[in-house]
Structure formats: structure tokens, C-alpha cells
């Protein structure tokens, strides 16, 4: 039986932080209080939301979890939420969910309530605000839950600071490789090209990237036997360095200073090679 598309559908929202809320960690914020519709719940209502088993389950959730009424007023939160946002659990009953999401407003709540009529989940990329005014990047999933004959909104909040930092490093590294003057290439263990930067394409005389797709980089060596020494060193976890004579696609001979290092997977198994080639043809001719 095919899955029901409406059962698994997810709406995605990206929230842009407010300019006056983009404070670095531990920097206090000065923001104007927002006026929200709806009615705050009393501490007694928050305390009695759901059964004891439900409340115990909420506390065991790894992510920060906040439950609000349909207007967005927070009714309940777990200890993880208290750690993330630096509020006591009891203090959440005085807060509206948009006071924790930078760049959000009543329009977000209207969008959430309307979208959950058709989508089972909403996934929000946002920056969340702590009690001290600092912010952190987060992934927030929202779904509709039914407790004690009433509808509520359930917000699961995951701190993605480490993931974002890793993504930023990857983007920076990719930009550096793309703009490097050295020819950089990644090949499999047989030296078949899997990735190469613009400098490598220019070095090998390729006018179109497609000319190098699936090519074996050792086929450009004037002395193919040196490829055995390179492969032997790399498969043993060593970096091979030396001078290579190569023949470009346009039949021009060039000399390069090469460094070929192992490319390993998460288990430190060598799965390929990273080639770095620097054209030294002018120096050789001189």
C-alpha cells in the first residue's frame, strides 16, 4: 500500500534573525516587548498538562521540548529546554514562543497553525535566544498534538551549533580549494578523477570540465610507471612528493611539483588519493 503523502509531508521555514537580535554569545540584548494575542496559562494549568507518564516522557526527550497553546503561549517545557534557553522551567509559562525565536512574529504563528491543517510537521531553521540575550542556531520541528481533549503545539528544538560550524568550515575549505592556484584533485584508489578544481582543469588543458570526467590522472604522466610508486605509498598511508612530467590534452608538455596524499574514510581506511600539482614548467625551462 503506498504511503499517504499527507501523513509524511513536511513544510520548511527559514527564519532570518532580526538585526537587533543578532548578538554574539553572552552579549545582552535590548528589545522592545512584543504584544501577543491569546491568554497566558496559569502555573497550575501548566503543571497539570497531560498525564504523569506524559510529563515523564517529555523530560526524557533529548532535544529541548516546549508545548504551547494554539496562540503560542508556552505551557510546558523539559529540563533540556531550561538548559538551552537558561530559564527555569517555571519561567516558561510567562513566555511566548516567538520571544525565543529570533525574527519571528505573529505571522509565524498564523503560518504554523494554517500549515498544520495540511502538513504533519513543520521544520524551521532559526536562531534561538537565551535568557541572557545570546543566540544559537537551531532546527525546530513543530507538530500538532492532542492532550486532554484540547489541541496544542509541540516544539522540538535541536542546537545545531557544532553542525553549523562544521558546515561553515567545509564551505570555507571548498572556497579555498576552488580558488587555489594549485591544481587540486580527488581520485579513487585507481587514480580515476572524482573531483577537481578549476586550476587542475586549466593545468591539464581542459577547456570544458566534461573533458576530464572519469579520466585517470595517471594517463597524463609521460612516465606511467611512476604511478606504481605513488599508489604504493598512498595505500600504505604515506604522502608521495616529487616532480612529474605530464602531457596536457593539447599535447603540451609540462612539469609539476606533485604531492599525493591518502584520502581516508571515517574508519581511516584509504579510499582514494588527494593530488596537489604546482606548475613549475617555467622554472624548469629557465
pLDDT tens for each residue of 218-263 = 999 998 889 999 999 999 999 999 999 999 999 999 999 999 999 9
Residue 22, SS3 per DSSP: coil
270: number of Cβ within 10 Å: 16
The predicted structure's pLDDT at residue 31: 38
Q: How far apart are CA 260 and CA 240, in angstroms?
A: 5
Convert the pLDDT of each residue in 79-129 to its tens digit: 999 999 999 888 888 899 999 999 888 888 888 988 888 777 899 999 999
Convert the pLDDT of each residue in 17-75 to its tens digit: 865 554 444 433 333 444 455 555 554 455 556 667 777 777 878 899 999 999 999 98
Q: Any idea what DSSP says for residue 218?
A: G
Amino acid at each position: 500500500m503506498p504511503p499517504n503523502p499527507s501523513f509524511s509531508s513536511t513544510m520548511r521555514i527559514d527564519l532570518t534573525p532580526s538585526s537587533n537580535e543578532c548578538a554574539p554569545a553572552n552579549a545582552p540584548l535590548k528589545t522592545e516587548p512584543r504584544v501577543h494575542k491569546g491568554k497566558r496559562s496559569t502555573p497550575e494549568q501548566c503543571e497539570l498538562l497531560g498525564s504523569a507518564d506524559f510529563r515523564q516522557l517529555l523530560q526524557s526527550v533529548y532535544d529541548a521540548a516546549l508545548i504551547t497553546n494554539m496562540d503560542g503561549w508556552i505551557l510546558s517545557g523539559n529540563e533540556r529546554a531550561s538548559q538551552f534557553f537558561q530559564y527555569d522551567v517555571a519561567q516558561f509559562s510567562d513566555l511566548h514562543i516567538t520571544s525565543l525565536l529570533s525574527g519571528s512574529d505573529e505571522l509565524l504563528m498564523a503560518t504554523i497553525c494554517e500549515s498544520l491543517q495540511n502538513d504533519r510537521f513543520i521544520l524551521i531553521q532559526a536562531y534561538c535566544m537565551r535568557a541572557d540575550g545570546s543566540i544559537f542556531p537551531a532546527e525546530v520541528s513543530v507538530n500538532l498534538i492532542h492532550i486532554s481533549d484540547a489541541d496544542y503545539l509541540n516544539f522540538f528544538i535541536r542546537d545545531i551549533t557544532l553542525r553549523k560550524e562544521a558546515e561553515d568550515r567545509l564551505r570555507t575549505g571548498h572556497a579555498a580549494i576552488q580558488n587555489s592556484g594549485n591544481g587540486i584533485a580527488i581520485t579513487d584508489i585507481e587514480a580515476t578523477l572524482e573531483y577537481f578544481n578549476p586550476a587542475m582543469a586549466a593545468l591539464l588543458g581542459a577547456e570544458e570540465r566534461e573533458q576530464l570526467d572519469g579520466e585517470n590522472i595517471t594517463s597524463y604522466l609521460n612516465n606511467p610507471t611512476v604511478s606504481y610508486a605513488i599508489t604504493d605509498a598512498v595505500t600504505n598511508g604515506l604522502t608521495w612528493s616529487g616532480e612529474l612530467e605530464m602531457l596536457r590534452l593539447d599535447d603540451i608538455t609540462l612539469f609539476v611539483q606533485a604531492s599525493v596524499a591518502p584520502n581516508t574514510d571515517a574508519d581511516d581506511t584509504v579510499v582514494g588519493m588527494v593530488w596537489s600539482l604546482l606548475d613549475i614548467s617555467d622554472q624548469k625551462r629557465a
